[in-house]
């Protein structure tokens, strides 16, 4: 039998427990949390569930994760409002061609180009900025 979810989901319970350990000092600030593999055996949960719990804490800025290293208890953990801003905004403007763009488009340096800049955010943090350039008055 896989797993029904009554009341609180498991990953939230696990996240609460880990947050409590950090808050209480059982896990010192700046120290590494136990690796995911250890947490799976301790909580008897799958790795995916553990990672989901840690993702909650990461979102809350309680911890900070580095690939190949581990997950740290964030040394400066200030309660701040959670950004829920996700999505992307696109702005269009005219910019002067730098040397490289001018060469590519075969125009004079400083000629005006159309730039579309899209900023993609995930949970408030900028993930990608894309700048696309076209000639003026041309097909898009």
Q: List contacts with DNA (CB under 7 A).
A: 1-6, 9-12, 33, 35-37, 44-49, 51-52, 54, 65-71, 137, 139
- Choose between 2 and 100: whose C-beta lies nearer to DNA: 2
| Residue 119 CB neighbours (<10 A) | 15
From 88, 93, 109, 136, residue interacting with a second copy (rule: CB under 8 A): 88
Report in angstroms how near the CB of residue 24 gets to DNA at its nearest: 20
- d(CA 99, CA 103) in angstroms, rounded, equals 6
DSSP lists the bridge partners of residue 66 as 70
- d(CA 66, CA 70) in angstroms, rounded, equals 6
- d(CA 54, CA 83) in angstroms, rounded, equals 17
> Binding residues for a second copy, per CB under 8 A?
24-27, 34, 37-38, 41-42, 44, 55, 67, 86-88, 101, 104-106, 118-120, 122-123, 125-134, 139-140
């Amino acid at each position: 039998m896989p797993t029904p979810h009554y009341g609180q989901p498991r990953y939230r319970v696990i996240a609460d427990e880990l947050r409590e350990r950090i808050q209480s000092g059982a896990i010192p600030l700046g120290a590494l949390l136990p690796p995911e593999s250890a947490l799976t055996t301790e909580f008897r949960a799958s790795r995916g569930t553990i990672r989901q719990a840690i993702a909650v804490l990461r979102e809350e800025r309680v911890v900070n994760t580095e690939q190949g290293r581990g997950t740290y208890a964030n040394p400066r953990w200030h309660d701040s409002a959670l950004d829920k801003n996700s999505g992307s905004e696109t702005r269009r403007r005219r910019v002067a061609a730098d040397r490289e763009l001018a060469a590519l488009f075969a125009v004079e340096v400083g000629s005006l180009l159309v730039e579309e800049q899209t900023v993609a955010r995930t949970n408030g943090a900028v993930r990608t900025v894309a700048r696309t350039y076209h000639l003026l008055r041309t097909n898009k």
